[in-house]
Amino acid sequence: MFETARFEGKRRVRGTAILSVGLSLYAAFIVWYFTVWEGAEVEELFQDMPPAMIEAFGIAELGSIEGFLGGQIYTFLWLLGLGIYFAYAGAGLVANDIEKGRMDLLGVFPISRTQLLSEKFAALLVPMVVLNLVVSAVVYVLVIAIGESIGPTHLFMAHALSLPYFLVCAALGVILSVVATRATIAERAAIGLIFLLWLGESVVSGSGEYSWLAYLSPTYYYEPTPVLIDGSYEPVHSLVLFGIFFGLLVVGLVLFKRRDF
Partner 1 sequence: MATIDVEDLTKYYGDVRGIDGLSFTVDAGEVFGFLGPNGAGKTTAIRTLLGLQSPTSGSATVLGADIRDESALLEAKRKIGYLPDHLGFHEELTGTQILDYHASIKGDERRSELLELFTPPVERAVRGYSSGNKRMLGIIQAFMHDPDLVILDEPTSGLDPLKQERFHEFLREERDRGTTIFFSSHILSEVRQICDRVGILRDGRLVELEEIETLLNRSGKRVQVQTTTDGREALAALDGVIDVYEFDNGMQFIYTGDYNTLFRALSEHDIHEADISEPPLEDIFLHYYGEETAPNAEASADV
In the complex with partner 1, which residue's Cβ is closer, 179 or 213? 179
Minimum Å gap between C-beta 130 and partner 1 is: 19
Identify the three-state secondary structure at position 193: helix
Report the distance separating Cα 19 and Cα 22, nearest Å. 5
Name every residue whose Cβ is closer than 8 Å to that of residue 250 and which is 6 or more positions away in sequence.
Answer: none
Q: Which of residues 97-136 bind partner 1 (CB under 8 A)?
A: 97, 100-105, 107-113
Report the distance separating Cα 217 and Cα 220, nearest Å. 6
How far apart, in Å, are the Cα atoms of 3 and each of 10, 65, 178, 257?
A: 11, 43, 22, 20
Does residue 184 belong to the site contacting partner 1 (CB under 8 A)?
Answer: no
Report the distance separating Cα 90 and Cα 92, nearest Å. 5
Amino acid (1-letter code) at residue 125: L
Minimum Å gap between C-beta 17 and partner 1 is: 14
In the complex with partner 1, which residue's Cβ is closer, 4 or 202? 4
Contact 93, 174 (CB under 8 A): yes
Give the contact letters, 78-97, x = binds to partner 1 (CB under 8 A), - = no: -------------------x
In the complex with partner 1, which residue's Cβ is closer, 8 or 201? 8
Minimum Å gap between C-beta 11 and partner 1 is: 7
| Span interacting with partner 1, options 4-12, 16-24, 170-178, 245-253, rule CB under 8 A | 4-12
Report the distance separating Cα 131 and Cα 135, nearest Å. 6
Minimum Å gap between C-beta 177 and partner 1 is: 16
Q: Which of residues 7-26 bind partner 1 (CB under 8 A)?
A: 7, 11
- Number of residues this chain uses to bind partner 1 (CB under 8 A): 23
Report the distance separating Cα 146 and Cα 34, nearest Å. 9
Instruction: Give the helix ranges, DSSP H, for 58-124.
Output: 65-69, 83-99, 103-107, 113-122
Burial label, 209 (beta-carbon count in 10 A; 0-12, 13-18, 19+): exposed
Minimum Å gap between C-beta 112 and partner 1 is: 6
| Span interacting with partner 1, options 3-11, 82-90, 129-137, 210-218, rule CB under 8 A | 3-11
Task: List interacting residues with partner 1 (CB under 8 A).
Answer: 3-4, 6-7, 11, 97, 100-105, 107-113, 257-258, 260-261
